Amino acid sequence: MTKKICVLPGDGIGPEITAQAVRVLEALNLGFEMETALIGGAAVDAAGDPYPQATQKLAAEADAVLLGAVGGSKWDSLPREQRPERGLLGIRKHLNLFANLRPAVLYPELANASTLKPEIVAGLDILIVRELTGDIYFGQPRGIENRNDERFGFNTMHYSESEIRRIGRVAFEAAGKRNKKVCSVDKMNVLETMQLWRDVMNELAPEYPDVELSHMLVDNAAMQLVRAPLQFDVMVTGNMFGDILSDEASMLTGSIGMLPSASLDENNKGLYEPSHGSAPDIAGKNLANPLATILSAAMMLRYSFNLEEEAKRVENAVKNVLAQRLRTGDIFESGMTRVGTKQMGDAILAELGK
C-alpha cells in the first residue's frame, strides 16, 4: 500500500532542510505520497494558529510526519498559546507520541567536533529512548501555593506499569535491530516510581532473550556517558532523566546539524525531525546542514516503514559523503570542501544513485 508522508517544513531553515530530505525520499523510488502543510510561525502567519485544522487532518491521516523546525524571534512576543513551539507540542500530543528516540552517532570523520578526546568517543553509536508523555512533567498535583506563610512548589512523579512496559518494548525492539543491549536508567535507590520502573523492565526482559538488559542509576549514567560512552547501545529512561541524558549524549558528538530524532506512537507512526531548531541566523542562505533531517528520514524508513535496508542505504550515503570531505559550515574543518544545503543534498543523491 502507498505510504503517506506529511511534510511540515516549518520556519527558519526548516523549508531548506526538509526539501533535501524530500528529494532523498523521492530518489529511493518507494512510491511515497508526500503532502506539505504549515506548522509553527509559518502557520501563525497564514492561519493564526501554529497547528491549524488542515495540518491536523493531514498529520492524522499520514503514516509518518517529517518536520523541519519551528520558531523565530518574529513570533516571540505573541501570547504563549500562539507561539510556534505550541505547534510542536500540539502535534506531539495529538498523535500520542510517547516514545522519543534520539541517536547520538559520531562519524569517524567528525571525531574532532566532539569536546571529548577522540579516543573516548570514536565509534560512538548510542540510541536514547525517552518516555515523552508521563513522569513528573505531566503528573498531578502540581503547582505553587502559599503554605505556612511561604510559597510552596510541588510536582508529582508517577508512572503506571503499562506506561513503563510500552516504552520498555520500544527500547528492547530497537536494541534487537542494533547491538542487542539495553541499559535502563532509573533512580530506584530513592524513588518508588523508579523501583517500579526497574521491576517492570526486569519482567519484560525474558520476552527478549536476544537482548541483554542492564540497569544504571541516573547519576552514574550521566557520569558514564562522558567517562566511557562506548559501553552503551540503547539507553531507556523516563521523561525527565531522558530530557537531560539525551542532550548530554547528543553533545558528545559536537555537531548539532547531524542529529536526527523520532517520536513514535503505539503503532510506530512517527514524527521525524532534526534535534536542532530553526537556526534563524542562517535561514534562507543555503548554509544549513540538511544531514540531520536526511538522517531523520532514514529513521522514518526504519521505524515507521520497517525498511531497514533503505534506511541503511541513506545512512551509508551520509557516511560516504563525509568521507568525500564535503562539509557544511557547522562541521567545516580546514582541508575540507565547503558546500551549501543544496549541494549536500546533491551529493547524497549522487551516492544513492551509485
CB 10 to ligand NAD: min, Å? 6
Could you confirm whether 265 is annotated as catalytic? no
Please identify, using beta-carbon distances, which residue of 186 and 273 lies nearer to ligand NAD: 273
Which amino acid is located at 291 in the chain? L
- Maximum Cα interatomic distance, the chain, rounded to a whole number of Å: 72
Could you confirm whether 187 is annotated as catalytic? yes
Which amino acid is located at 224 in the chain? Q
Please identify, using beta-carbon distances, which residue of 85 and 346 lies nearer to ligand NAD: 85
Could you confirm whether 219 is annotated as catalytic? yes
Please identify, using beta-carbon distances, which residue of 193 and 289 lies nearer to ligand NAD: 289
Residues 331, 348 contacting (CB under 8 angstroms): no
> Of 11, 49, 187, 269, which is the active-site residue?
187
CB 95 to ligand NAD: min, Å? 15
* Assigned C-alpha cell, 242: 531522558
Could you confirm whether 199 is annotated as catalytic? no
Please identify, using beta-carbon distances, which residue of 184 and 289 lies nearer to ligand NAD: 289
Rounded Cα distance between 6 and 184, Å, is 33
CB 31 to ligand NAD: min, Å? 28
- Residues contributing to the site for ligand NAD (CB under 6 A): 13, 69-72, 85, 88, 256-257, 273, 276-282, 288-289, 292, 328, 330
Could you confirm whether 107 is annotated as catalytic? no
Rounded Cα distance between 330 and 230, Å, is 24
CB 226 to ligand NAD: min, Å? 21
Q: Which three-class secondary structure state does DSSP give residue 8? A: strand
Rounded Cα distance between 18 and 43, Å, is 16
Please identify, using beta-carbon distances, which residue of 281 and 309 lies nearer to ligand NAD: 281
CB 11 to ligand NAD: min, Å? 7
Assign residue 72 a region: left if phi > 0, alpha if psi is -120 to 50, beta otherwise? left
> Of 4, 137, 265, 319, which is the active-site residue?
137
Cross-strand bridge partners of residue 69: 10
Residues 62, 5 contacting (CB under 8 angstroms): yes
Assign residue 316 a region: left if phi > 0, alpha if psi is -120 to 50, beta otherwise? alpha
Residues 11, 277 contacting (CB under 8 angstroms): no
> Of 243, 319, 342, 346, which is the active-site residue?
243
> Of 57, 93, 219, 285, which is the active-site residue?
219
* Residues annotated as part of the active site: 137, 187, 219, 243, 247
